[in-house]
Structure 1
Amino acid sequence: MTFKWAGRCPECGAWGSVEEAPALSPLQTSALQRSALPESRIASTTGGLLPSSPARSINEVEGSHAAVRSTGIAELDRVLGGGVVPGAMILLAGEPGVGKSTLLLEVVRRWAEHDTALYITGEESAGQVRLRADRTNALHERVMIAAESELATILGHVEQVRPSLLIVDSVQTMRAADVEGTTGGVTQVRAVTNALTNLAKTSGLAVLLVGHVTKDGSVAGPRSLEHIVDVVLHFEGDKNSTLRMVRGIKNRFGPTDEVGCFELCESGIKEITDPSGLFLHHHSHTVSGTAITVAMDGKRPMLGEVQALVAGNGIPSPRRAVSGLDSSRVAMILAVLERRCGLSLTGSEVYVATVGGMRVTEPSADLAIAVAVASGARDLVLPERTIVIGEVGLAGEVRRVPGAGRRVQEAARLGFTRAIVPADSDAMPHNVAVTHVRNVGEALSALAPEAKQK
């Protein structure tokens, strides 16, 4: 069958033998399919096909085969919802050079301590992966590796090795020979993913795919790729920082608001169980223009330092530079400080940034930004062991943020003794001196008596 005119039959090679025929309707196509099946498979009342196995109650479905299995990396298990489910399709996406392959080598090494893992690489040779494994101490006799890009060959390796975990690095380098399209194209990526998904669901093999991302940070390839897989993880981090985070975007087996923290070093990648300590490692209590806040990344509260520098006076075109924060919110807060608090920033350059590669996008850091800028403009050092939490509105009011009590409790665990929070916040820990404020002016007034001139 061909969908356009052809002078020669592609099957028998005869000339002028191809005849035009009308396309069959869906009902006619279904009838032809039913005619090729035995009568026992055809339902007489509706004309549909009888299923090979009847539907049953959900209480009768065996669930033991879907029990999660730990990867051996607690931070990754946190994002996955406890571990890897047999038969799950997991997509790990990230920018080039962020450390995806290094993380996966650590995963297969931990996995190989209990079972066999197969690592398929299409971007590097087996020797190159071995060199990285030597450097990161990821060698194990049950870690099997093959440099392949043909889907049929990969399935053959799975048949021979019989692993319980398959790593494919990356899905954009794999190709199905019987499917048209270039390697990494929409058609090829969809075909390879569908084939590996069918393998995972029928055999119970857990498959972890590595995916590329586009310039805007979304997963490269067809949008259906994210719908096909069970779990989508984003591996992100600044190339100028050692901090790396695995963020859950989609998870059919667990929560989607968890984040795992890692540190990339020369010997590989290691977990960070207390990221707040990393962000506050270089904090100085004797410098003006700094404020400590607590941001919620998923369900995890993390302390971060906001720094502000106000320089110059009477500059015709003053510069505003922001790093690690939402630049539009910082501009709004600067306007609120000038209009509602009488802080003159006209003609002064303002630089606002976070420390340690931390990125804060939620509004709970608004009040900390305002306090840091005011501290930098007036050259006042804020009191030690104080955190500032709150969202700032255009009228200068301080609004409540979700989980304020949990944020303050995390700060108390790290030795902070005072907190500036919105007036209508939840119950607070008893071991922290809490000051409730209704607007930015009250927050600055509450800190001013204890602030010290630099």
Structure 2
Amino acid sequence: MATAAFWCTKCDTQYAKWQGRCRECGGWSTVIAATPDAAAIAEAPEAAPLASFATAVHDRLITGITEVDRVLGGGLVPGSVVLIGGEPGVGKSTLLLQMAQSLHARDARVFYLSGEESGAQVSLRAKRLGLACEFAFVHVHDFASVKALLVKEHPSIAIVDSLQTLTDAAVAGEAGSLSQVRAITAQLVAIAKEQSIVLILVGHVTKDGQVAGPKTLEHLVDCVAYLETREDGATRILRAAKNRFGATGEIGVFAMEVQGLIPLQNPGAHFLEHPTALPAGSVITATIDGTRALACEIQSLITKTAYGMPQRRASGVDASRMQLIIAL
């Protein structure tokens, strides 16, 4: 007889004994008993030399957005799964809408699956961005429906916005729980590989730093990119944290405007406060982020002090590193 195990349907923590309240996430009545089924007797697969497998060269799907293609390593690889994370309101859905329309204009069969917003809401935002809204849209929450749709329609690209809104009736836990998100993602990855569909998944990162989805899913997907915002609030940076088909650490820079996220071809000039004439106390230097060289402006301000020893403070750079450079 199999030994009973207990696990939390909200945070996936396992216990040897039943708990009324999960000690990890604090959820009440979320710990249930799970008895694993007897292992099925399976036939051993046949092994063959690796060189005997046919290698198919797939042409990448160019999104048409230069900064996105740069981060992805030259475009989307058929059968790959891309996870895009970021804080709420950073512009993930806006970027995906622009990608969907651009890919559709390049004759790609795009399906946009949304569980957060209705078709009327997404259409209103797309029209505000000046998009034609010609790609297919589906409002869905049930994962079984998503699975049936992907197998039946076989799109070139499917965008799921977002993972936390899908529910699988065969998996215990509420929508957005670790058990649900992990099981759904694993099945989506299998479908993408079998059907050669590009899947773009959206995962949320909360403002208080609690990452319930994207971090636990990084090992399941092929590419992980995070959309970040700078202090000015008008600049967005798409950063590749993992990429099986390109360089890791590559960045794409966008300006948030009324028309959406606008790629910056020369982000160095965007970061300079005085691009033409430098005032006294300012200098322009080159930095490397990913494989891209960026120009940045460093300003210094000197004032008289009433202290016995001078004080040196830094904003935007590491203070210890600044002290070391000054000493050298």
Are the equivalent residues in 1 in contact too, given 2:60–2:75 (CA < 8 A)? yes
Q: Secondary structure at the match of 1:157?
A: helix
Are the equivalent residues in 2 in contact too, given 1:91–1:233 (CA < 8 A)? yes
1:386 matched to which residue of 2? none
Deviation at 1:222, TM superposition (A): 7.0
**1:62 paired residue among 47, 55, 62:** 55
Q: Secondary structure at the match of 1:189?
A: helix
**1:314 paired residue among 268, 283, 306:** 306
2:118 matched to which residue of 1? 125
1:202 matched to which residue of 2? 194
Structure 1 gaps, min length 5: 5-22, 38-48, 337-365, 371-395, 398-454
Larger helix proportion of the pair: 1
Deviation at 1:218, TM superposition (A): 8.0
Deviation at 1:67, TM superposition (A): 3.0
Give the Cα separation in 2 of the matches to 1:165 and 1:172.
Answer: 20
Instruction: Show the 5 A alignment for 1:179-190.
Output: 179-190=171-182
Q: Secondary structure at the match of 1:309?
A: coil
- Highest CA radius of gyration, 1 or 2? 1
**2:235 paired residue among 236, 243, 246:** 243
Deviation at 1:321, TM superposition (A): 5.8
2:287 matched to which residue of 1? 295
TM-score by length of 2: 0.81
Are the equivalent residues in 2 in contact too, given 1:246–1:260 (CA < 8 A)? yes
Q: Does 1:78 align with 2:78?
A: no
**1:139 paired residue among 123, 129, 132:** 132
Instruction: Show the 5 A alignment for 1:1-400.
Output: 33-34=40-41, 49-51=43-45, 55-58=48-51, 60-64=53-57, 66-113=58-105, 114-141=107-134, 143-214=135-206, 219-221=211-213, 223-238=215-230, 240-280=232-272, 282-283=274-275, 285=277, 287-314=279-306, 322-330=314-322, 333=323, 366=325, 370=326, 396-397=327-328
Q: Secondary structure at the match of 1:254?
A: coil
Give the AA of the match of 1:124. Answer: E
Give the Cα separation in 2 of the matches to 1:319 and 1:123.
Answer: 51
Judged with a 3 Å threshold, the aligned counterparts in structure 2 of structure 1 residues 259 and 222 are, in CA distance, closer, same or farther, namely: closer
Are the equivalent residues in 1 in contact too, given 2:203–2:214 (CA < 8 A)? no
Give the AA of the match of 1:135. Answer: R
Deviation at 1:89, TM superposition (A): 0.8
Aligned residue pairs: how many?
A: 297
Judged with a 3 Å threshold, the aligned counterparts in structure 2 of structure 1 residues 266 and 317 are, in CA distance, closer, same or farther, namely: farther
Are the equivalent residues in 1 in contact too, given 2:86–2:227 (CA < 8 A)? yes
Are the equivalent residues in 1 in contact too, given 2:224–2:241 (CA < 8 A)? yes
Are the equivalent residues in 1 in contact too, given 2:236–2:253 (CA < 8 A)? yes
Name which structure has the greater RCO, CA cutoff 8 Å, separation 6+: 2
Q: Secondary structure at the match of 1:227?
A: coil
Judged with a 3 Å threshold, the aligned counterparts in structure 2 of structure 1 residues 58 and 315 are, in CA distance, closer, same or farther, namely: same
Give the AA of the match of 1:166. Answer: A
Deviations 1:196-247 (A, max 9, x none): 1111011111100111125576853374410001101111112633221111
Deviation at 1:62, TM superposition (A): 3.1
Are the equivalent residues in 1 in contact too, given 2:154–2:195 (CA < 8 A)? no
Are the equivalent residues in 2 in contact too, given 1:133–1:139 (CA < 8 A)? yes
Q: Secondary structure at the match of 1:198?
A: helix
Are the equivalent residues in 2 in contact too, given 1:190–1:222 (CA < 8 A)? no
Give the Cα separation in 2 of the matches to 1:294 and 1:194.
Answer: 42
Give the Cα separation in 2 of the matches to 1:78 and 1:310.
Answer: 40
Deviations 1:10-60 (A, max 9, x none): xxxxxxxxxxxxx99x9xx56xx33xx7xxxxxxxxxxx242x65354354
Deviation at 1:271, TM superposition (A): 1.1
Deviations 1:49-90 (A, max 9, x none): 242x653543541313x3322111121111111111111010
Q: Secondary structure at the match of 1:75?
A: helix
Deviations 1:148-192 (A, max 9, x none): 222112223324543111111111222111111122111111011
Judged with a 3 Å threshold, the aligned counterparts in structure 2 of structure 1 residues 223 and 300 are, in CA distance, closer, same or farther, namely: closer
Are the equivalent residues in 1 in contact too, given 2:126–2:133 (CA < 8 A)? no
The sequence identity of aligned pairs, in percent, is 39
Deviations 1:373-402 (A, max 9, x none): xxxxxxxxxxxxxxxxxxxxxxx33xxxxx
Deviation at 1:323, TM superposition (A): 3.5
Give the AA of the match of 2:128. Answer: R
Give the AA of the match of 1:277. Answer: A
TM-score by length of 1: 0.59
Give the Cα separation in 2 of the matches to 1:286 and 1:274.
Answer: 19
Structure 2 gaps, min length 5: 5-34
Q: Secondary structure at the match of 1:295?
A: strand
Instruction: Show the 5 A alignment for 1:410-421.
Output: none
Deviation at 1:315, TM superposition (A): 5.8
Give the AA of the match of 1:196. Answer: L
